[in-house]
Amino acid sequence: MPEQTDQTAVQNRRDEYAEMTRRDVVAAARRLFAEHGYEQTTVAMIAREARVSPATVYAQCGGKEGLLGTLMDMWTTSPTVGRIVGDAAEGLTGRDKLRILAEGYVAHAAEAGDIMRIVERAAASSTPAEEFMAIADGRHTEALEIITKGIADVGELADGLSVTDAARIVYFHFRNPQLVLASETFGWGIDRAQQWLLERVESAILKP
Residue of 114, 180, 101, 170 whose CA lies nearest to 137: 170
> Which residue, 69, 46, 87, 178, is CA-closest to 127?
69
pLDDT value for 16: 81
pLDDT exceeding 70 applies to what percent of the chain? Answer: 93
The pLDDT of residue 17: 76
Q: What is the CA radius of gyration of the chain?
A: 21
Q: What is the DSSP string of the chain?
A: -HHHHHHHHHHHHHHHHHHHHHHHHHHHHHHHHHHH-TTT--HHHHHHHHTS-HHHHHHHH-HHHHHHHHHHHHHHS-HHHHHHHHHHHH-SSHHHHHHHHHHHHHHHHHHHHHHHHHHHHHTTT-HHHHHHHHHHHHHHHHHHHHHHHHHHHTT-BPTT--HHHHHHHHHHHHSHHHHHIIIIIS---HHHHHHHHHHHHHHHHB--
Q: How confident is the model over 21-78, as pLDDT tens digits? A: 999 999 999 999 999 999 999 999 999 999 999 999 999 999 999 999 999 999 999 9
Give CATH superfamily name and number for 2-61: Homeodomain-like (1.10.10.60)
Give me the architecture of the 74-205 domain, per CATH: Orthogonal Bundle (1.10)
The crossing angle, in degrees rounded to 10, of helices 2-36 and 94-122 is 80
- Mean pLDDT for the chain? 94
Which residues of the chain form CATH 1.10.357? 74-205
The answer, yes or no, to whether residue 5 has pLDDT greater than 80, is no
- The mean pLDDT value for 104-109 works out to 97
Q: Where in the chain is the domain with CATH 1.10.10.60?
A: 2-61
